[in-house]
């Protein structure tokens, strides 16, 4: 039976995409983050989901491979979501990202009119949502968005620590 008591339709999915939890979407963002390691980028991943629980876009850091300082996971996921949607307003969307966004990415979320942000690990050196700045709630800006911090921070931290440990072991940083 479905949630409303009717029998399931043959061939229909057992549960809607909206049934995914924050943790499920953060797991998808972590999977995306792992892809960045393959080309030497810091492992940060992001996924944008609409109010109906449909994935609209995803991305992982590509600064090194694309030689692009703006190729952060969040920016790439927001761009993909806007293309998928056919317009830039993402006011009913949630962005899931493994690391607290920097000022550039938080600013892009303001400009996209993002509805909600969920992130894993805080970033004491560059975080612009709760650590260094609070751009998501700054009343001087023309838009604010809800924030859920600390969703599965441990795997995000472990992924980042492993990446930087390997870099140091190779003498690269």
Give the ranges where 14-152 is alpha helix by DSSP (H): 22-37, 63-66, 73-85, 103-111
Catalytic positions are: 74
Residue 52 contacts residue 115 (beta carbons within 8 Å)? no
Task: Say how many CA atoms lie within 13 Å of 25 toward its Cβ.
Answer: 28
Task: Say how many CA atoms lie within 13 Å of 121 toward its Cβ.
Answer: 20
User: Of all helices (H) and strands (E), which one includes residue 60?
Assistant: strand 55-60
DSSP β-ladder status, 55-60 and 45-49? antiparallel
- The Cα 168–Cα 149 span in angstroms is 29
- The Cα 54–Cα 149 span in angstroms is 21
């Amino acid at each position: 039976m479905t949630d409303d008591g009717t029998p399931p339709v043959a061939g229909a999915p057992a549960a809607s995409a909206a049934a995914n939890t924050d943790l499920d979407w953060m797991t998808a963002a972590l999977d995306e983050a792992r892809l960045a390691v393959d080309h030497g980028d810091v492992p940060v991943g992001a996924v944008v989901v609409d109010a109906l629980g449909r994935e609209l876009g995803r991305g992982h850091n590509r600064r090194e491979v694309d030689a692009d300082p703006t190729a952060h996971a969040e920016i790439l996921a927001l761009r993909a979501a806007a293309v998928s949607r056919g317009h830039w307003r993402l006011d009913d969307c949630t962005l899931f990202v493994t690391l607290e966004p920097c000022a550039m990415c938080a600013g892009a979320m303001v400009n996209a009119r993002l509805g909600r942000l969920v992130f894993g690990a805080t970033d004491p050196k560059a975080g612009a949502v709760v650590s260094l700045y609070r751009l998501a709630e700054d009343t001087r800006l023309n838009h604010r968005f809800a924030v859920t911090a600390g969703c599965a921070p441990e795997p995000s931290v472990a992924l980042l620590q492993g990446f930087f440990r390997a870099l140091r072991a190779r003498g690269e940083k």
